[in-house]
Copies of this chain bind each other. A is one copy, B any other.
Amino acid sequence: MTKRSLQSRATPWISAIVLFLLWEGIVRLFHIPDYVLPTPSASLEAAWKFRSAIWMHAAQTLYTTLFGFAIAVVFGVFLGALVGSSRAIYNAANPLLVGFNSVPKVALVPVLVMWFGIGTVPAVITAFIISFFPIVVNVATGLATLEPELRDVLRSLGATRTDILVKVGFPRALPYFFASLKVAITLAFVGSVISETVASNVGVGYLMLSASSKFNMPLVFAGLLVIAAMGIIMYEFFNIVERRSTRWANRANPTG
């Protein structure tokens, strides 16, 4: 038990280290110049060198991302419930949603800047609008494919639509809700960082853009690594919540 959990805790680290070694090896072997692709060691060095600046920028990015993501979760669940519970809304809303989401959000950032100035607000909004769609889709799919047998259990009690949603719809869709959170949080990071590169004085996006205009590619990649790390931390958080709440769905997970 403890041995396995130790092992399972170690694997991501091991795979990360393997990846870094591979990356370092390839860059050195092919003499790839650092303005194309810096080595991870150079990137980590840059991260260390600029740690206090990175810390400040990362905190800002984390804050805007989580803010936007939180709105996305609330809105996504709400819209997903709406879309998933009625075919008419599904038909009306889905093409528009898909159309909207096919559009690169970076094109909308300047519009946001006109209204809100540069800084936190556009980043939060960008993180929100870029990340709510996967949640909508998975929640809607979860509700639309709810087994009629389970639905009937509640209907036979004269339950309202909301009851059905709360008591069987959401719990049933929970594994996929969490799946969509994993996608959504990564997109939220992308959104806030993109917005920061276009319109902000702070945040990892600004840091990366400013580093790249100063030829400091290792610092650019340090920024990428920091985002990746924050993404992973958020993911691990959801993972823990998920494991607690969807044990039933993984009841026969092969543990091999």
Contact = CB atoms under 8 A, between A and B. Distances in A.
Nearest to A231: B102
Contacts of A147: 252
Interface in A1-45: 8-9, 11-12, 14-16, 19, 36-37
B87 A256 contact: yes
Nearest to A235: B98
A144 B98 contact: no
A236 B95 contact: yes
A194 B255 CA distance: 40
B138 A252 contact: no
A158 interface: no
A179 B138 contact: yes
Contact of A87 (B93, B133, B253): B253
Nearest to A239: B94
Stoichiometry (number of copies):
2
B96 A137 contact: no
Interface centre among A9, A100, A229 (most CB of B within 10 A): A100
Interface residues of A, number: 83
Interface stretch (A47-55, A104-112, A117-125): A104-112
Contact of A145 (B11, B14, B106, B175): B175
A189 B102 contact: yes
A117 B230 CA distance: 31
Contacts of A87: 8, 253-256
Interface string A121-138: 000000000000110011
Closest CB pairs A-B (n = 5): A102-B231, A148-B252, A99-B228, A101-B186, A102-B189
A232 B141 CA distance: 18
Contacts of A145: 175, 246, 249-250
Contacts of A98: 182, 185-186, 228, 231-232, 235
A213 to B, nearest CB: 12
Contacts of A240: none
Nearest to A150: B252
6 contacts: A106-B197, A107-B220, A137-B179, A137-B180, A141-B178, A183-B183
B104 A193 contact: yes
A93 B15 contact: yes
